[in-house]
Amino acid sequence: MEKTIDIEEQIIELTNFYRKLKYRKIQRGIYTIYGELEFKIVSPEVVRGKYNVEIQVTKRFPVEVPIVKEVGGIIPDGFHKNDSKTLCLGVETEIKLFLKNMPNLLKFVNSFVIPYFYSFKIWQKTGRFPFGERPHFVKGIIEFYKEYLLLNDLSKIINVLKYIYNKGDLSGYCRCPCGSGKSINECFHQEKLKELSKINIKDDLYYIYCYYNKINGKRKKPIIYPLTSENFKKLYGIKNK
Ligand SMILES: [Zn+2]
Ligand SMILES: [Zn+2]
């Protein structure tokens, strides 16, 4: 069972911390938090920022990741933004994993939104990203999994994701899907497999698989999206449980 989260309580915590943020509740359980997000980073040097934002949070937080916009016209569209002009705060799976362990709105803002604006400031000044920069779309997703699973080989990453998608046994004595030959108990992936099994990795598996097929010249199957589980089975022969 999902822990129930009092989203209003969390919004109040956020707006108490960032005093220039306000919020309103609009229809269908969506809350909009708006106003000025002001911050000061002191290390390694003092960086101050002030951005007008609009944050949309739904009642399904943290399963649904909040949407953040900068509405003051300071962040150019060419900087990290999604198609819908919302801020590209990182690879969604990475954010979901964070929220799974830390289902807190203020911590989300402090861990993703503030670093985004901080990165923008540093990038403006130096042309560099202080925490590095992930590519967009599937390449960013792949980069994340390479780091997270410490696997370089795409087919191994796909095997791990398939195993999780198929709800493979995570308790221990089965072989780890990474291909190390070790049992899950003995492989360093055990904790990571457990973490990933708490979130929905179906889309990631789909994108990475399509990308893998493309770079390997396999184009036998059309790309069907949105995916129904039937399509998914047809495409990849993965059992649905
Ligand atoms: Zn981006
Ligand atoms: Zn492993």
> How many A from CA of 233 to the centre of ligand 2?
25
Q: Which ligand is nearest to the CA of 79?
A: 1
pLDDT per residue over 28-61, tens digit each?
889 999 999 999 988 888 999 999 999 999 989 9
> How many A from CA of 175 to the centre of ligand 1?
35
> How many A from CA of 142 to the centre of ligand 1?
14
> How many A from CA of 190 to the centre of ligand 2?
7
Q: How many CA atoms lie within 13 A of 111 on its CB side?
A: 16
Instruction: Tally Cβ neighbours within 10 Å of residue 8.
Output: 13
Euclidean distance between the first and the last CA atom of the chain, given in angstroms as a whole number: 19
Q: pLDDT value at position 239? A: 44
Query: How is the chain split into domains, by residue range?
Result: 7-126, 137-236
pTM of the model: 0.84
Residue 222 and residue 156: Cα distance in Å, rounded?
Answer: 23
> How many A from CA of 18 to the centre of ligand 2?
42
Domain 7-126 has CATH 3.10.110: yes
Residue 94 and residue 25: Cα distance in Å, rounded?
Answer: 27
Q: pLDDT value at position 221? A: 55
DSSP summary character for residue 115? H
